[in-house]
């Protein structure tokens, strides 16, 4: 006879033998980490879009200052594979310090870097990958953020943050067809 655990209205069959328990635990440990995938199109070349992520002056024009009471304190970027970045802002009286390390830089088509908070330690486990491709008279940007599993509860808030930042990036590269800056191109995935 199989035992069952009742969690409210949810009924879950329990393993028939204790030997099955470690296998079930192993399955949860290998679950895919939470991920955000966003696609945008901008009226810019991939080269200009690539540089917008690596030039402190340009980065400061769109990545921060989009939230009320936010002030940029410092943007330090060493744009080379293995190079680190430090992005410090004050928001609502609190200092927020984003840090990371560049894993791959292939101009103008790929940027990949770790992303985290200074409190997370030397090498955050979260990775952001930007793929840039020319698509007619615009640049297609695919952003994939694979989150540190500790941030799973913040998935939607992180998605909203990236959407806000990508909208702000669109303000630097106004859309040539009258769509909302940075908006997904019709028919794009």
Asked if residue 131 belongs to a domain, the reply is yes
What's the pLDDT score for residue 61? 86
| Residue 142 to residue 103: CA distance in whole angstroms | 17
Asked if residue 71 belongs to a domain, the reply is yes
DSSP per residue, 129-183? EEEEEEETTEEEEEEEEE--GGGGGGHHHHHHHHHHHHHHHHHHS--TTSSPTTP
Query: Would you write out the chain's pLDDT as a tens digit for each of its 189 residues?
Result: 433 333 333 333 333 433 433 433 334 456 789 999 999 999 999 999 999 999 998 998 888 866 667 888 999 999 999 999 999 999 888 998 999 999 999 999 999 999 988 887 666 679 999 999 998 889 999 999 999 888 899 999 999 999 989 998 998 887 544 454 455 544 444
Alpha carbon 75 to chain centroid, angstroms: 18
Contacts of 27 (CB under 8 A, 6+ apart): none
The CATH number of the domain holding residue 40 is 3.30.530.20
| Residue 172 to residue 36: CA distance in whole angstroms | 23
Query: Residue 41: phi, psi to the nearest 5?
Result: -130, 135
| Residue 8 to residue 119: CA distance in whole angstroms | 38
Task: Count structural domains, the chain.
Answer: 1
Boundaries of domain holding 150 = 33-172
- Looking at residue 69, the DSSP 8-state letter turns out to be T
Asked if residue 28 belongs to a domain, the reply is no
Asked if residue 183 belongs to a domain, the reply is no
Write down the residue that tokens 């955000």 correspond to: 36
Asked if residue 49 belongs to a domain, the reply is yes
Contact 127, 113 (CB under 8 A): yes
Asked if residue 27 belongs to a domain, the reply is no
Asked if residue 114 belongs to a domain, the reply is yes
Asked if residue 15 belongs to a domain, the reply is no
In whole angstroms, how large is the CA radius of gyration of the chain? Answer: 21
What's the pLDDT score for residue 18? 39
**Per residue in 3-24, is it b (16+ CB within 10 Å) or e — as a string?**
eeeeeeeeeeeeeeeeeeeeee
């Amino acid at each position: 006879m199989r035992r069952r655990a009742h969690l409210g209205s949810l009924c879950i069959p329990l393993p028939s033998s204790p030997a099955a328990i470690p296998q079930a635990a192993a399955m949860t440990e290998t679950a895919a980490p939470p991920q955000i995938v966003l696609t945008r199109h901008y009226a810019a070349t991939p080269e200009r879009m690539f540089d917008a992520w690596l030039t402190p002056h340009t980065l400061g024009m769109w990545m921060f200052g989009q939230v009320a009471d936010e002030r940029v304190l410092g943007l330090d970027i060493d744009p080379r594979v293995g190079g680190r970045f430090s992005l410090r802002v004050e928001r609502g009286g609190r200092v927020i310090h984003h840090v990371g390390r560049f894993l791959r830089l292939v101009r103008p088509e790929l940027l990949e870097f770790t992303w985290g908070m200074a409190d997370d330690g030397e090498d955050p486990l979260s990775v952001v990958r930007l793929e840039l491709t020319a698509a007619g008279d615009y640049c297609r940007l695919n952003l994939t953020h694979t989150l540190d599993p500790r941030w799973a509860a913040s998935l939607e808030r992180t998605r909203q943050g990236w959407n806000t930042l990508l909208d702000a990036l669109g303000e630097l590269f106004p859309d040539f067809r009258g769509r909302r800056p940075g908006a997904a191109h019709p028919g794009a995935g």
